[in-house]
Amino acid sequence: MYGVPKAIVFEVDGTLVDTNVLRARAWQEALARYGRQVRLPRVLAHMARMGDQFLSVFLPEDEYLRYADELASFYRALFHEEYLHKVRPFRGAPELLRHLREDGWRIALASTADPDELEHYIELLGVEDLIDARTTDAEVDRNRLHEEIPAEAVRLLGLDGTDDVLAIAGLPYDIEGAVRLGMRCVGLVCGGFTDEELQSAGALAVFGTPLDLLTRYADSPLAAVG
Protein backbone atom coordinates (compact mmCIF):
# COMPACT_ATOMS: atom_id res chain seq x y z
CA MET A 1 0.00 0.00 0.00
CA TYR A 2 1.40 3.35 -0.98
CA GLY A 3 1.62 6.27 1.40
CA VAL A 4 -0.09 9.58 0.77
CA PRO A 5 2.42 12.17 -0.48
CA LYS A 6 1.48 15.82 -0.08
CA ALA A 7 3.32 17.01 -3.15
CA ILE A 8 4.82 15.90 -6.42
CA VAL A 9 8.09 17.06 -7.98
CA PHE A 10 8.43 16.77 -11.76
CA GLU A 11 11.65 16.81 -13.70
CA VAL A 12 10.76 18.58 -16.95
CA ASP A 13 13.24 17.64 -19.70
CA GLY A 14 12.48 14.17 -21.00
CA THR A 15 9.48 13.88 -18.68
CA LEU A 16 6.97 16.58 -19.64
CA VAL A 17 8.65 17.94 -22.78
CA ASP A 18 10.54 16.07 -25.49
CA THR A 19 13.99 17.65 -25.32
CA ASN A 20 16.55 14.90 -24.80
CA VAL A 21 17.44 14.23 -28.45
CA LEU A 22 17.45 17.96 -29.21
CA ARG A 23 19.79 18.64 -26.30
CA ALA A 24 22.02 15.76 -27.34
CA ARG A 25 22.30 17.16 -30.86
CA ALA A 26 23.23 20.58 -29.49
CA TRP A 27 25.88 18.99 -27.25
CA GLN A 28 27.13 16.96 -30.21
CA GLU A 29 27.57 20.13 -32.27
CA ALA A 30 29.23 21.96 -29.39
CA LEU A 31 31.69 19.13 -28.80
CA ALA A 32 32.47 18.96 -32.53
CA ARG A 33 33.36 22.64 -32.48
CA TYR A 34 35.99 21.79 -29.88
CA GLY A 35 37.38 18.87 -31.83
CA ARG A 36 35.39 16.00 -30.32
CA GLN A 37 33.37 13.91 -32.77
CA VAL A 38 30.93 11.97 -30.60
CA ARG A 39 28.08 9.78 -31.83
CA LEU A 40 24.60 10.83 -30.78
CA PRO A 41 23.76 7.65 -28.79
CA ARG A 42 26.85 8.19 -26.64
CA VAL A 43 25.89 11.80 -25.97
CA LEU A 44 22.38 10.69 -25.05
CA ALA A 45 23.75 8.09 -22.66
CA HIS A 46 25.81 10.63 -20.73
CA MET A 47 24.15 14.03 -21.06
CA ALA A 48 22.26 13.77 -17.78
CA ARG A 49 25.66 13.98 -16.07
CA MET A 50 25.71 17.74 -15.73
CA GLY A 51 28.71 19.88 -14.86
CA ASP A 52 32.00 18.06 -14.28
CA GLN A 53 30.43 14.62 -14.55
CA PHE A 54 29.11 15.28 -18.04
CA LEU A 55 31.92 17.05 -19.88
CA SER A 56 34.71 15.04 -18.29
CA VAL A 57 33.33 12.00 -20.14
CA PHE A 58 34.41 13.59 -23.42
CA LEU A 59 37.30 15.93 -22.51
CA PRO A 60 40.71 15.11 -21.04
CA GLU A 61 41.34 16.91 -17.77
CA ASP A 62 43.54 19.63 -19.25
CA GLU A 63 41.00 20.42 -21.99
CA TYR A 64 38.16 20.32 -19.51
CA LEU A 65 39.88 22.90 -17.30
CA ARG A 66 40.60 25.08 -20.32
CA TYR A 67 37.39 24.83 -22.31
CA ALA A 68 34.49 23.53 -20.20
CA ASP A 69 32.90 26.89 -19.37
CA GLU A 70 33.31 28.18 -22.91
CA LEU A 71 31.92 24.98 -24.41
CA ALA A 72 28.92 24.99 -22.08
CA SER A 73 28.17 28.62 -22.99
CA PHE A 74 28.36 27.76 -26.68
CA TYR A 75 26.01 24.81 -26.12
CA ARG A 76 23.44 26.95 -24.28
CA ALA A 77 23.45 29.61 -27.00
CA LEU A 78 23.16 26.97 -29.72
CA PHE A 79 20.27 25.22 -27.99
CA HIS A 80 18.39 28.52 -27.58
CA GLU A 81 18.93 29.60 -31.17
CA GLU A 82 18.53 26.34 -33.07
CA TYR A 83 16.58 23.88 -30.94
CA LEU A 84 14.38 25.48 -28.29
CA HIS A 85 11.62 26.33 -30.78
CA LYS A 86 11.47 22.66 -31.81
CA VAL A 87 10.56 21.40 -28.32
CA ARG A 88 7.11 19.84 -27.99
CA PRO A 89 5.21 18.52 -24.95
CA PHE A 90 4.84 14.79 -24.54
CA ARG A 91 1.31 13.54 -25.17
CA GLY A 92 -0.89 13.97 -22.14
CA ALA A 93 1.52 16.17 -20.16
CA PRO A 94 -0.82 19.15 -19.60
CA GLU A 95 -3.77 16.84 -18.94
CA LEU A 96 -1.79 14.86 -16.37
CA LEU A 97 -0.83 18.02 -14.48
CA ARG A 98 -4.44 19.23 -14.48
CA HIS A 99 -5.69 15.87 -13.25
CA LEU A 100 -3.13 15.88 -10.45
CA ARG A 101 -4.25 19.31 -9.31
CA GLU A 102 -7.89 18.22 -9.37
CA ASP A 103 -6.91 15.17 -7.33
CA GLY A 104 -5.34 17.26 -4.58
CA TRP A 105 -1.64 17.43 -5.44
CA ARG A 106 0.67 20.37 -5.00
CA ILE A 107 3.04 20.50 -7.98
CA ALA A 108 6.67 21.59 -8.24
CA LEU A 109 8.89 21.64 -11.31
CA ALA A 110 12.54 20.80 -10.67
CA SER A 111 14.35 21.46 -13.91
CA THR A 112 17.96 21.34 -15.05
CA ALA A 113 16.99 23.85 -17.74
CA ASP A 114 17.91 27.52 -17.68
CA PRO A 115 15.21 29.76 -16.13
CA ASP A 116 14.07 31.18 -19.48
CA GLU A 117 13.86 27.67 -20.94
CA LEU A 118 11.67 26.53 -18.07
CA GLU A 119 9.37 29.52 -18.55
CA HIS A 120 9.10 28.60 -22.23
CA TYR A 121 8.17 25.03 -21.33
CA ILE A 122 5.52 26.16 -18.85
CA GLU A 123 4.01 28.42 -21.51
CA LEU A 124 4.19 25.60 -24.05
CA LEU A 125 2.35 23.28 -21.66
CA GLY A 126 -0.16 25.97 -20.67
CA VAL A 127 0.09 25.10 -16.97
CA GLU A 128 1.24 28.33 -15.31
CA ASP A 129 -1.79 28.26 -12.99
CA LEU A 130 -0.98 24.73 -11.78
CA ILE A 131 2.60 25.21 -10.57
CA ASP A 132 3.20 25.85 -6.87
CA ALA A 133 7.01 25.99 -7.06
CA ARG A 134 9.76 25.85 -9.65
CA THR A 135 13.52 25.71 -9.55
CA THR A 136 16.29 25.53 -12.14
CA ASP A 137 20.05 25.10 -12.37
CA ALA A 138 20.46 28.83 -11.66
CA GLU A 139 19.64 28.33 -7.97
CA VAL A 140 21.95 25.43 -7.12
CA ASP A 141 25.45 24.00 -7.42
CA ARG A 142 25.70 22.85 -11.06
CA ASN A 143 27.85 19.88 -10.08
CA ARG A 144 25.11 18.38 -7.87
CA LEU A 145 22.05 19.24 -9.93
CA HIS A 146 20.21 15.95 -9.60
CA GLU A 147 20.04 16.21 -5.82
CA GLU A 148 20.00 19.95 -5.19
CA ILE A 149 17.30 20.90 -7.70
CA PRO A 150 14.59 18.61 -6.25
CA ALA A 151 15.72 19.51 -2.72
CA GLU A 152 15.25 23.20 -3.53
CA ALA A 153 11.82 22.46 -5.01
CA VAL A 154 10.79 20.77 -1.77
CA ARG A 155 12.04 23.75 0.22
CA LEU A 156 10.06 26.15 -1.97
CA LEU A 157 6.94 24.07 -1.32
CA GLY A 158 7.46 24.80 2.38
CA LEU A 159 7.92 21.16 3.36
CA ASP A 160 10.26 20.08 6.16
CA GLY A 161 11.37 16.87 4.45
CA THR A 162 10.82 14.51 1.55
CA ASP A 163 8.92 11.68 3.22
CA ASP A 164 5.63 12.95 1.83
CA VAL A 165 6.91 13.86 -1.63
CA LEU A 166 6.75 11.79 -4.81
CA ALA A 167 8.98 12.52 -7.82
CA ILE A 168 8.41 11.82 -11.51
CA ALA A 169 11.41 11.71 -13.85
CA GLY A 170 12.63 10.17 -17.08
CA LEU A 171 16.39 10.03 -16.49
CA PRO A 172 18.10 7.47 -14.23
CA TYR A 173 20.32 10.17 -12.74
CA ASP A 174 17.34 12.29 -11.73
CA ILE A 175 15.69 9.28 -10.13
CA GLU A 176 18.87 8.39 -8.26
CA GLY A 177 19.16 11.94 -6.95
CA ALA A 178 15.55 12.02 -5.76
CA VAL A 179 15.88 8.60 -4.11
CA ARG A 180 18.96 9.80 -2.24
CA LEU A 181 16.81 12.61 -0.88
CA GLY A 182 14.25 10.09 0.39
CA MET A 183 11.62 10.59 -2.30
CA ARG A 184 9.61 7.82 -3.89
CA CYS A 185 9.89 8.00 -7.68
CA VAL A 186 7.85 7.13 -10.74
CA GLY A 187 9.73 6.78 -14.02
CA LEU A 188 8.68 7.62 -17.58
CA VAL A 189 10.48 5.93 -20.47
CA CYS A 190 9.59 8.67 -22.97
CA GLY A 191 12.92 10.30 -22.05
CA GLY A 192 14.75 7.52 -23.88
CA PHE A 193 15.74 5.14 -21.08
CA THR A 194 14.34 1.65 -20.50
CA ASP A 195 12.09 0.26 -17.78
CA GLU A 196 15.05 -1.69 -16.44
CA GLU A 197 17.32 1.37 -16.28
CA LEU A 198 14.71 3.44 -14.44
CA GLN A 199 13.86 0.63 -12.04
CA SER A 200 17.54 0.02 -11.33
CA ALA A 201 17.86 3.72 -10.52
CA GLY A 202 15.12 3.35 -7.91
CA ALA A 203 11.78 3.97 -9.65
CA LEU A 204 8.99 2.15 -7.82
CA ALA A 205 6.84 2.10 -10.98
CA VAL A 206 7.52 2.89 -14.65
CA PHE A 207 5.15 4.15 -17.34
CA GLY A 208 5.50 5.18 -20.98
CA THR A 209 4.43 8.79 -21.44
CA PRO A 210 2.45 11.27 -19.34
CA LEU A 211 -0.61 10.08 -21.26
CA ASP A 212 0.12 6.47 -20.31
CA LEU A 213 0.45 7.47 -16.67
CA LEU A 214 -2.80 9.43 -16.83
CA THR A 215 -4.61 6.52 -18.51
CA ARG A 216 -3.37 4.09 -15.83
CA TYR A 217 -3.66 6.60 -13.02
CA ALA A 218 -5.94 4.45 -10.87
CA ASP A 219 -3.31 1.70 -10.76
CA SER A 220 -0.36 4.01 -10.11
CA PRO A 221 1.23 5.36 -6.91
CA LEU A 222 -0.40 8.70 -7.75
CA ALA A 223 -3.88 7.35 -7.02
CA ALA A 224 -3.03 7.03 -3.33
CA VAL A 225 -3.57 10.71 -2.59
CA GLY A 226 -6.95 11.35 -1.12
pLDDT digits (tens, 9 = 90+) for 48-87: 655 446 788 888 889 888 988 899 899 999 999 999 999 9
Which CATH number is 157's domain given? 3.40.50.1000
End-to-end, the C-alpha distance of the chain in Å comes to 13
Give pTM, 2 decimals.
0.90
What kind and span of H or E run contains 52?
helix 52-55
Q: Which domain holds residue 171?
A: 7-19+88-224
Which pLDDT value is given to residue 49? 57
User: 96 and 204 share a domain?
Assistant: yes
190 occurs within a structural domain: yes
User: 174 and 220 share a domain?
Assistant: yes
pLDDT at 141 over 70: no
User: 50 and 126 share a domain?
Assistant: no
- Of 53, 86, 119, the residue that ends a domain is 86
Which pLDDT value is given to residue 149? 80
- Of 86, 108, 140, the residue that ends a domain is 86
User: 174 and 105 share a domain?
Assistant: yes
77 occurs within a structural domain: yes
User: 108 and 165 share a domain?
Assistant: yes
Provide the domain count of the chain: 2
Question: Which sign, positive or negative, has the C-alpha torsion 142, 146, 148, 152?
Answer: positive
pLDDT at 100 over 80: yes
C-alpha–C-alpha distance, residues 137 and 145, integer Å = 7
2 occurs within a structural domain: no
201 occurs within a structural domain: yes
- Of 71, 86, 101, the residue that ends a domain is 86
User: 92 and 78 share a domain?
Assistant: no
Which pLDDT value is given to residue 51? 47
